[in-house]
Homo-oligomer: A and B are copies of this chain.
Amino acid sequence: MAKKNDIFKGKSAVELAEKMGLSKKDLEVCGKYSAKLNSEAVQRLRRGGKAKLIVVAPTMPVYGTDNQHYIICERFVQAFSLLRKSTLLCVPSYSLEDMLVHETYNNLFPLQDVLTGSGEISNIAYLHNFIANYINNQLIYNSNSSSLPYHLMWNRVATSRDEALKKVITGFGNTKPGRTLKEEGFMHMQNSELLAVVAASMTEEELKSRLSKIMVGISRENTAVHLKDIKLDDTVFEMLKGAMNPKLMQNRNGDPVMVYTSPTGNFLPEGNPLAISAAMSLADFVIAKFDSGVPLSIEKFFNITCAENEITPDMVVITAFVNELNTYGGATLENSRQKNLAALEKGIQVLIGDVENVKKFGVPVLVSICENRDITMDEIKIIDKYCSDLGVKPVFSHTKNYSTKAGIDFVKSVLEIIRIEKSYFKPIYENEIPLKDKINMIVKEVYNKNKVTYSGKAEKEFGLFERMGYGKLHVSVSRSPYWHEPSLQNEINIKSASLYAGAGLVMATAEDGEFMPYYNGKYNIDRVKNVLYK
């Protein structure tokens, strides 16, 4: 990584593209330093991918550690580059607020473009809320139509984690007949089905088809009302299709990075199969960085995205920090950086669970253990012991003084695994089984819990979706990204179910899952400032 005071001069998008064997004709240049791959290029590339796909995900970040996982992933990429391996990093775009929440220092350049490249996301939010307003308009001016939703299933979204909007009463300023006070809820943008269908679609036809299936409500006659029924699917398609294609950007070493549009994995599937497949034609190793932990992100990416698109992940790198393991084991966040062997021995069980889970999918695993200090011999001993029981060899590194040697050690371990271990990837459930059985399997196999309970509301909703013919969709368990709290022991309670027919799934929201998550800390703007101005 370039030093903080270096003045980095970015490469042009064309230079970046040429480095990967692409030409100007494959690009829709956006500004000085970045470009969208155009549809022709992406559609050509997505078919030929031969790269090894390495998925990098954290165990489970605790407050303030997302940042560490980003940095360590960047260093892995750099070590590949030092060894002259052709590598391409794929990451989701994110917003200014995401940066504050995750305290992520992202090495992308120019950072402003990544954040306003959440222009894609702002535009999708615009369209999402336009649909909500359009439905309200039709309910007033077209109220005889039988194709109008009586029970609305399309909430407005907010682009901020704005808890005050979680539940509101609207309509105090209404002036039109037919409008009343209503209890409504805003969802965070990350829960938008529009965002999910953009991220999931491999072709324009698929996007079109997914949009037409989106259900916005139920009519008075008790029939499903789709985006197609209110005649919005084509228009929304025309407005969204540009957001499908990934953006070619760069890190502060001038290495190309693929930035794509995607939800975060705690609600809806994280990752973008079109971007990742295309990337697999452009390098020998594709590193796909996921933000949420293994159970949230990897489960959805594997069971839904990879399964649907026949993408085979070659290996998973789980990054874990000693302070996180200590926290899982009961250490307070403040003291978690200190050596605490008892906490470590307890907390490592979470990591071990993650390793086992990835293995259930048939995918080889590497564990990378990091800390901002030297990891002591007795800590290494504990970690080694549990890992070796599973036949996994952890790689250790000091993240503050990350050395070239540490990077090379890591890449060597990766290459060794890829050489020796073959991926026998398969999803852990079949879509044929009922919705609740799929959830039970996920909770048992991936969350390592023995029991799932359902609220009365959730029971009813699952029943309804099964009767409506949606029983063979995927399921997505929506939880807090920081779910591993002591109060959540051996069971998970599902409080509600939501249909995302266009995204091809039914979302099951756990007790701690929030359609409007909030940030439980103070936004520290200074940290972002320092990064932006460089």
* Complex interface residues of chain A between 104 and 139 (CB less than 8 A to chain B): 112, 115-116, 118-119, 121-123, 125-127, 129-130, 132-134, 136-138
> A423 on the interface (CB 8 Å rule)?
no
> A179 on the interface (CB 8 Å rule)?
yes
Pairs A-B, 4 closest by C-beta atoms: A166-B173, A141-B522, A122-B122, A167-B172
**Min CB–CB distance A155 → chain B (angstroms):** 12
- Contact yes or no, A159 B126, CB < 8 A: yes
**Min CB–CB distance A57 → chain B (angstroms):** 27
A182 contact set on B, CB distance < 8 A = 164
> A516 on the interface (CB 8 Å rule)?
yes
A2 contact set on B, CB distance < 8 A = none
> A6 on the interface (CB 8 Å rule)?
no
What are 19 A-B interface contacts by the 8 Å CB criterion? Answer: A28-B30, A28-B32, A30-B30, A31-B242, A96-B126, A116-B242, A121-B126, A122-B122, A132-B160, A133-B161, A134-B525, A141-B522, A164-B170, A164-B184, A166-B173, A166-B174, A175-B518, A176-B518, A238-B532
Looking at A138, A160, A528, the one whose CB has the most chain B CB atoms below 10 A away is A160
* Complex interface residues of chain A between 147 and 163 (CB less than 8 A to chain B): 156, 158-163
> A467 on the interface (CB 8 Å rule)?
no
- Contact yes or no, B232 A132, CB < 8 A: no
* Complex interface residues of chain A between 231 and 264 (CB less than 8 A to chain B): 231-232, 234-235, 238-239, 242
- Contact yes or no, A528 B173, CB < 8 A: no
**Min CB–CB distance A337 → chain B (angstroms):** 22
**Min CB–CB distance A290 → chain B (angstroms):** 24
A516 contact set on B, CB distance < 8 A = 173
A161 contact set on B, CB distance < 8 A = 133
**Min CB–CB distance A47 → chain B (angstroms):** 23
- Contact yes or no, B133 A522, CB < 8 A: no
- Give how many copies assemble into the complex: 2
- Contact yes or no, B112 A130, CB < 8 A: no
Provide the bound-state CA to CA distance between A534 and B207, in Å: 19
A164 contact set on B, CB distance < 8 A = 136, 170-171, 173-174, 179, 182, 184
> A36 on the interface (CB 8 Å rule)?
yes
- Contact yes or no, A129 B235, CB < 8 A: no
A465 contact set on B, CB distance < 8 A = none
A7 contact set on B, CB distance < 8 A = none
Q: Chain A: interface residue count, which band?
A: 35 or more
**Min CB–CB distance A244 → chain B (angstroms):** 13
Looking at A29, A122, A136, the one whose CB has the most chain B CB atoms below 10 A away is A122
A133 contact set on B, CB distance < 8 A = 97, 160-162
Residue of B nearest to A142 (CB): B522
Known A-B contacts A164-B179, A231-B526; the reply to A112 vs B239 at CB < 8 A is yes
- Contact yes or no, B158 A167, CB < 8 A: no
- Contact yes or no, A119 B123, CB < 8 A: yes
15 new A-B pairs (CB below 8 Å) besides A29-B31, A166-B174, A175-B518? A29-B30, A96-B126, A119-B119, A119-B123, A122-B125, A126-B159, A130-B159, A137-B519, A137-B523, A141-B521, A163-B173, A164-B174, A165-B170, A166-B172, A231-B526
> A183 on the interface (CB 8 Å rule)?
yes
Instruction: Give A494-534 as 1s and 0s: 1 = Cβ < 8 Å from B's Cβ atoms.
Output: 00000000000000000000001011111101101100110
Provide the bound-state CA to CA distance between A141 and B239, in Å: 39
> A169 on the interface (CB 8 Å rule)?
yes
